[in-house]
């Protein structure tokens, strides 16, 4: 029978007021660290729908698809005619297949001189014999500025570093208190021939548990934010990352994994303390 579950319960049972406070603070600072990391992934720049919808965006390119039956001479003539127009800034020929895999024939990529006159230009091009379809390519909607300004990013980085340092400091303090209360048990285990591969996982496991709990708390917080704050209006602005369930899920599970790793590292601090003389089997 493996003694690990029993020993882990006993170790948890040894947590007293002072070590409990230290471990609670470790948990809190790990939570803050993970929250800062999440902010970089969830508060991202987003596209804003223009007031008049996508149709109100200026046309930057007109694609005039040509009939595959047109001869190369006709295409050349058409090319020259369009290029001569005063409302055309530039024209390029491409094979239609380059833009649409199933298409045949050619396509003119025309840049209008003025975006305002592009609608009229498109209408004129549509009437040309041999042009089968006109496609207007509109400008990309403006990106909002990132909700994380340069200053906010610096503050987040400082908080992130401070949080992890404090988490490690409080963890060390917590482990020192806890292991002092558990010293007799560790001596007994070592005296009885319990291998280190049983003792060490207990200590690392406690750190990993704290890390996972910090990640889990953040998962709960992110899901609460997802269902409350990330309403459609908010989704269009700073909380767009929170509106995406997939992103929230990805970040949450990433946090739990990161919490597990950091917690494990914190646990190794405790393992370092085990090397002290007071934990040796024989004085």
Is 246 among the residues that bind other proteins (CB under 8 A)? no
Is 116 among the residues that bind other proteins (CB under 8 A)? no
Among the residue ranges 99-107, 154-162, 186-194, 234-242, the one whose residues contact other proteins (CB under 8 A): 186-194
Binding residue for other proteins (CB under 8 A) from 53, 101, 195, 275?
A: 195
- Cβ–Cβ under 8 Å, residues 59 and 113: no
Binding residue for other proteins (CB under 8 A) from 92, 184, 247, 251?
A: 184
C-alpha 68/C-alpha 38 separation (Å) is 52
Say how many C-beta atoms besides its own lie within 10 A of residue 79's C-beta: 16
**Burial class of residue 147 in the structure, from the number of CB atoms within 10 Å of its CB (0-12 exposed, 13-18 middle, 19+ buried):** middle
Binding track, positions 130-169, relative to other proteins; x by CB under 8 A: ----------------------------------------
- Name which of 62 and 189 has its Cβ closer to other proteins: 189
User: What is the smallest separation between the CB atom of 267 and other proteins, expressed in angstroms?
Assistant: 20
Binding residue for other proteins (CB under 8 A) from 52, 53, 193, 275?
A: 193
Closest Cα partner for 263 from 41, 34, 35?
34
User: What is the smallest separation between the CB atom of 195 and other proteins, expressed in angstroms?
Assistant: 5
Bridge partners (DSSP) of residue 246 are none
Is 282 among the residues that bind other proteins (CB under 8 A)? yes
Is 73 among the residues that bind other proteins (CB under 8 A)? no
- Cβ–Cβ under 8 Å, residues 276 and 239: no
User: What is the smallest separation between the CB atom of 269 and other proteins, expressed in angstroms?
Assistant: 24
Is 281 among the residues that bind other proteins (CB under 8 A)? yes
- Name which of 7 and 37 has its Cβ closer to other proteins: 7
Binding residue for other proteins (CB under 8 A) from 123, 161, 191, 229?
A: 191
3-class DSSP assignment, residue 86: coil
Is 188 among the residues that bind other proteins (CB under 8 A)? yes
Cα separations in angstroms, 46 against 27, 193, 225: 32, 60, 18
The phi and psi torsions of 220 (rounded to 5 degrees) equal -60, -45
Q: Interface residues for other proteins in 163-182 (CB under 8 A)?
A: 181
Say how many C-beta atoms besides its own lie within 10 A of residue 209's C-beta: 18
Structure tokens at 222: 């992110």
Size of the site for other proteins (CB under 8 A): 20
- Name which of 193 and 275 has its Cβ closer to other proteins: 193
3-class DSSP assignment, residue 92: strand
DSSP run (H or E) holding 266: helix 245-273
Structure tokens at 266: 């914190």
C-alpha 161/C-alpha 208 separation (Å) is 19
Is 283 among the residues that bind other proteins (CB under 8 A)? yes
Among the residue ranges 37-45, 69-77, 192-200, 245-253, the one whose residues contact other proteins (CB under 8 A): 192-200
3-class DSSP assignment, residue 95: strand
Is 3 among the residues that bind other proteins (CB under 8 A)? yes
C-alpha 78/C-alpha 106 separation (Å) is 12
Please report, as ranges, the residues that interact with other proteins according to CB under 8 A. Answer: 1-3, 6-7, 10, 181, 184-185, 187-189, 191-195, 281-283
């Amino acid at each position: 029978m493996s003694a690990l579950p029993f020993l882990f319960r006993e170790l948890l049972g040894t947590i007293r007021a002072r070590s409990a406070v230290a471990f609670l603070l470790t948990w809190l600072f790990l939570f803050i660290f993970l929250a800062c990391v999440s902010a970089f992934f969830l508060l991202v720049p987003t596209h804003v729908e223009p007031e008049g919808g996508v149709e109100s965006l200026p046309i930057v390119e007109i694609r005039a698809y040509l009939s595959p039956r047109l001869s190369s001479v006709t295409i050349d003539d058409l090319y020259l005619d369009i290029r001569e127009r005063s409302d055309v800034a530039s024209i390029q020929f491409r094979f239609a297949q380059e833009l649409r895999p199933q298409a045949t024939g050619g396509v003119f990529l025309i840049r209008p001189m003025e975006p305002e006159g592009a609608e009229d230009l498109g209408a004129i091009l549509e009437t040309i014999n041999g042009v089968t379809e006109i496609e207007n390519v509109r400008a990309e909607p403006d990106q909002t500025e990132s909700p994380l300004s340069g200053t906010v990013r610096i503050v987040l980085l400082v908080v992130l570093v401070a949080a992890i340092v404090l988490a490690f400091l409080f963890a060390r303090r917590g482990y020192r208190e806890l292991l002092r209360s558990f010293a007799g048990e560790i001596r007994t285990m070592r005296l009885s021939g319990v291998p280190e591969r049983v003792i060490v996982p207990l200590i690392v496991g406690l750190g990993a548990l704290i890390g996972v709990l910090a990640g889990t708390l953040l998962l709960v917080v992110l899901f609460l934010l997802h269902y409350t704050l990330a309403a459609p209006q908010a989704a269009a602005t700073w909380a767009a990352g929170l509106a995406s369930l997939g992103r929230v899920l990805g970040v949450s599970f990433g946090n739990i994994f990161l919490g597990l790793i950091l917690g494990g590292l914190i646990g190794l601090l405790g393992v370092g303390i085990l090397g002290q003389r007071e934990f040796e089997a024989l004085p």
